[in-house]
Amino acid sequence: MPAEMEPLDVNSTARDVEDYLERFDIWCLTKSDMDDKKLTAYFLHFVGKEAYTLIKNLVYPESPIDISYNELKKKVLQHFKPINFVAAERARFNMLTRSHSQSVRDFVLQLQTQTAKCDYGAQLEDQLRDRLITGIQLPEL
């Protein structure tokens, strides 16, 4: 019997679901005899009863076992991932400032987390640098 993963919590955030799917993908890499059917079967086994019911509803009228893992993964992500409005996410990013009790390291992590939702593309590093300088609130800068 393969090492178990915890069931997928149907009340998870989109980020938690992405992490779960990433961990499942990593687990699959450790298996040498994994074909598409087994991949789907393992996934449906590991997600647990509640998530299986959700997946079944997402792919109805088809049966989950008849759908590729990649297609199931796509459906699950579409269900959990909220539609981000880039302009709103960028506005949130541009309002971030470091509180006096927040370490610089934590502020940088907060900036990086928010930029993941902003779709800055080639401008990412410039945007991070500019927001870090304006939001860090260190008088010596």
Is the bond preceding 61 in cis, omega lying within 30 degrees of 0? yes
> What rounded mean pLDDT belongs to the chain?
90
The model's confidence at residue 1, banded by pLDDT at 50, 70 and 90, is very low
User: Which residue, among 89, 108, 88, 113, has the nearest Cα to 98 in the 3D structure?
Assistant: 108
Mean pLDDT (whole number) for 118-127: 92
For residue 118, pLDDT beyond 60? yes
What is residue 65's three-state secondary structure?
Answer: helix
